[in-house]
C-alpha cells in the first residue's frame, strides 16, 4: 500500500515534469501492489490520471505554459481515436501493433534528442509541411 | 486545427490500444511538427490528457471497472507529485527535460516490446 502511494507520487512528478499521463506507472502499481486485474487497473488508472492532469494543467496555466484551446481540440479528437483503437485491436494481432508502436516511440525519442529545443517564448504555431531536417 | 485533431486522434488511438500514447504522442507532435516550445507542449498535453482520461473514465465506469478507493490511493499522491513536477519543470533546463522525456519513451518502448 505504501509502495502504491510512492509510485503514485512519482507518476505525478513525471506527469508534471514531462506532460505525460503516467499510465505506464499507475497500471503496474495497481496490479502489482493493489492486486487489481489488468482491465480493472487500466480503468482505475484513469481515475488517478484525470484529477492529476487537471491540477497539472492548472499549475502549468499559471506558469504560462498552456494553450487551452489546442489542448481541448487534442483531447476531444482523441475520443473517437480511442474507440477506433479498441476496434483495431480486435482485428490486428496485438503483438504486431505493440512492436510497431515501440519502434515508433524509439524513432520519436531519437528525434527529440537530436533536434534543439526552441526558444521559450516563440509564439509561431506553424503546421510545417517542410520535410523534417535530416 | 485539422492537424491538431489528427494528432489527438492518433494519441487516442494508441491509448485505446495500449493505455499509453497520450503524452508520448502529443508532446513530440507539438514540439516537432507544430513548433511548440517544450514546456508549453507539455503543459498543453496535460489539458488533452485530462479530457481524454475523463471521457475514458466515464466509459469504464459504465462497465463497472473502476475501483474508486484504489484509484484515490494512487491518485491523491499523484496530485501532490504533479504540483511538485510542474514546479520543478520551470527550474530545470529545457534540454534536460527533453532528454528525460526521451529516456521515458525508450523505457516505455522497451516495456511494450518485451511484454
Q: What's the pLDDT tens digit per position in A20-77? A: 988 888 988 999 999 998 888 888 998 999 999 999 999 999 999 999 999 999 999 9
Considering the domain boundaries, does residue A55 fall inside one?
A: yes
Tally of domains in chain A: 1
A127: its cell numbers: 503546421
Q: Is residue A22 part of a domain?
A: yes
Q: What is the predicted ipTM?
A: 0.92
**Is A29 a member of any domain?**
yes
Task: State whether residue A124 sits within 8 Å of chain B by CB.
Answer: yes
Range of the domain at A59: 2-66
Domain membership flag for residue A99: no
In a domain, A20, yes or no: yes
**pTM summary value:** 0.86
A82 and B65 within 8 Å at the Cβ level: the answer is no
Chain B residue numbers touching A26 (CB-CB < 8 A): 74, 78
Q: Rounded to whole angstroms, how far apart are CA atoms B27 and A18?
A: 8
Count other C-beta atoms under 10 Å from residue B8's C-beta. 29
Residue A131 Ramachandran class (φ > 0 left, ψ -120 to 50 alpha, else beta): beta
Write out the residue range of the structural domain in which residue B90 sits.
Answer: 2-113
**Could you tell me if residue A18 is inside a domain?**
yes
Amino acid at each position: 500500500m505504501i509502495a502504491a502511494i510512492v509510485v503514485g507520487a512519482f507518476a505525478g512528478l513525471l506527469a508534471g515534469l514531462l506532460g505525460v499521463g503516467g499510465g505506464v506507472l499507475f497500471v503496474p502499481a495497481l496490479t502489482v501492489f493493489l492486486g487489481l486485474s489488468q482491465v480493472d487497473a487500466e480503468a482505475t488508472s484513469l481515475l488517478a490520471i484525470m484529477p492529476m492532469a487537471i491540477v497539472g494543467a492548472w499549475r502549468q496555466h499559471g506558469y504560462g505554459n498552456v494553450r487551452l484551446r489546442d489542448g481541448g481540440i487534442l483531447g476531444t479528437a482523441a475520443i473517437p481515436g480511442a474507440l477506433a483503437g479498441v476496434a483495431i485491436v480486435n482485428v490486428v494481432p496485438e503483438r504486431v501493433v505493440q512492436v510497431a508502436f515501440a519502434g515508433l516511440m524509439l524513432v520519436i525519442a531519437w528525434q527529440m534528442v537530436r533536434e534543439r529545443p526552441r526558444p521559450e517564448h516563440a509564439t509561431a504555431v506553424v503546421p510545417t509541411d517542410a520535410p523534417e531536417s535530416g | 486545427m485539422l492537424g491538431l485533431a489528427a494528432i489527438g486522434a492518433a494519441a487516442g488511438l494508441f491509448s485505446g490500444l495500449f493505455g499509453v500514447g497520450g503524452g508520448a504522442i502529443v508532446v513530440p507532435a507539438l514540439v516537432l511538427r507544430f513548433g511548440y516550445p517544450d514546456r508549453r507542449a507539455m503543459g498543453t498535453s496535460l489539458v488533452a490528457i485530462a479530457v481524454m482520461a475523463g471521457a475514458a473514465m466515464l466509459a469504464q465506469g459504465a462497465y463497472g471497472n473502476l475501483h474508486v478507493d484504489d484509484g484515490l490511493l494512487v491518485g491523491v499522491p499523484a496530485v501532490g507529485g504533479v504540483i511538485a513536477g510542474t514546479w520543478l519543470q520551470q527550474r530545470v533546463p529545457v534540454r534536460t527535460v527533453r532528454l528525460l522525456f526521451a529516456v521515458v519513451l525508450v523505457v516505455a518502448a522497451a516495456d511494450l516490446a518485451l511484454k
